[in-house]
Structure 1
Amino acid sequence: MRGLDLDYMWGLVPVLLGYVPLTLLMALVAMACALVLASIMAVERVFRIPVLDHFVRLFISFFRGTPLLVQLFLFYYGLPQMVAFLGTINGVTATIMGLTLHFSAYMAESIRAAILGVERSQWEAAQAVGMTQSQMMRQIILPQAARVAAPTLVNYFIDMIKGTSLAFTLGVTELMGATQKEAAGSFLYFEAFIVVAAIYWIIVEALAFVQRRLETYLNRAHAR
């Protein structure tokens, strides 16, 4: 039984760190897009606009009810066969699309719950001063809902970062894809995957720390 090749592991760290920016970039872009889409769907689910509500519910049901990997394959391999202009879609774009739509379905329900959690008196006060629904949502309801939803949304961002590891199945050389190639070249799979697991762990723990600080700050601001 051989021991761990520590020299190889230390040498692999700077190599894999070079792919962290691409991993974070995909997650950040997908998070920004998902947040916008989820907010729109959450507001729609609160007001239940006829016809549109059925489409939104179907969207949420589909993307919550199917695996992320299947959705990535649909965007990368399936859609280009059906839609001509998507024939040149690359793995990074397909990954961002998949992450955006997949996590927006989950985030929409969390934001909707946060909106409905705002005290009814806030809604009634906004209506009493003559605010339109649009003004009420922008100025009164959504800011309060954001405080409640923020910790959960950070959790989704953490899951999104881990979800980028599936991008290597689309040929993207991000953190996981680079690890796969390095391991295949050295045959030191155990060492390579320990290193990448440690990198993901550190990133997630850093974000968890930010989440705790954010939650503390928001609670203090609300208490004042």
Structure 2
Amino acid sequence: MAGLLPVILRFVPLTFGMAVGSMIGALILAAILAVIRVLRIPVANQAAGVFISFFRGTPLLVQLFLFYYGLPQAIPAFVAIDGVTAAMLGLTLHFAAYMAESLRGAILGVARDQWEAARAVGMTEGQTMRRIILPQAARVFAPTMVNYFVDILKSTSLAFTLGVTEMMGAAQKEAAGSFRYLESFLVVAIIYWIMVEVLSRVQAWLERRTERRATGGTRA
């Protein structure tokens, strides 16, 4: 295990980078979907509903295989897509569907009088959403966002099924060469565990900060 640790640690930046990139993409897409759902924009609302239903209702692994193995058959441009890009695309769309519903709930949780006050001073729905509602919803959503990032980070382990040599892929190769499966996968598990524990502390800090703001306490 001591010998495997530095080998697998070399792939931590790739694993973390995939998670960060997917999280950013998912958050942007989730915000767009949530706004469409809240404002009930014709046609777009129905399309967003189908998107969310599909990506919430099918396994992530199936979606990854669709993007990497299936799409190139239908769309020739996807032949050039590599495993990392396919994995990040799958993670982005999958978690955007879940985050959109959570963010929609946070938006709907903002007091209705905020909308009425904005309308009273002549703001459009778009201005109200951008300047008043979304900033308040973001503070409520922040702790949950860390939880989603943890899920994305752990889900990057599925990228090895697309031939990506990230932490799980590196452990698989080391185990196949040495037949030390227990040691290889235990090292990976410990590394993921440490990263998740660090992120859990960040989440706890954000929750305390949100509670202080909600109760009018001092800033953290």
| Interval containing the TM-score (normalised by the shorter chain) | over 0.9
Q: Pick one of 107, 128, 132 that aligns with 2:124.
A: 132
Cα deviation per residue 1:148-182 (whole Å; 9 max; x = unaligned)? Answer: 11111111110000100000000000010000001
Aligned residue runs from structure 1 range 1-224, under 5 A: 9-224=1-216
User: 1-side partners of 2:119 and 2:6: how far apart?
Assistant: 57
Matched with 1:6 is: none
Q: TM-score, normalised by structure 2?
A: 0.96
- Structure 1 unaligned segments of length 5 or more: list them: 1-8
1:218: how far off?
Answer: 2.5
Q: What is the root-mean-square deviation in Å for CA atoms of aligned residues?
A: 0.8
Look up the equivalent residue of 1:109 and give its one-letter code: E
1:222: how far off?
Answer: 3.5
User: 2-side partners of 1:136 and 1:77: how far apart?
Assistant: 43
Q: TM-score, normalised by structure 1?
A: 0.95
Cα deviation per residue 1:35-78 (whole Å; 9 max; x = unaligned)? Answer: 00000000000011111111110000000000000000000000
Look up the equivalent residue of 2:57 and give its one-letter code: G
Aligned residues: 216
Look up the equivalent residue of 1:71 and give its one-letter code: Q
Look up the equivalent residue of 1:194 and give its one-letter code: L
How much identity, in percent, do the aligned residues show?
67
Look up the equivalent residue of 1:167 and give its one-letter code: A
1:191: how far off?
Answer: 1.0
| Deviates further, 63-72 or 149-158 | 149-158
1:25: how far off?
Answer: 0.4
1:138: how far off?
Answer: 1.1
1:84: how far off?
Answer: 1.1
- Structure 2 unaligned segments of length 5 or more: list them: none
1:216: how far off?
Answer: 1.3
1:215: how far off?
Answer: 1.6
User: 1-side partners of 2:21 and 2:215: how far apart?
Assistant: 32
SS at match of 1:10: coil
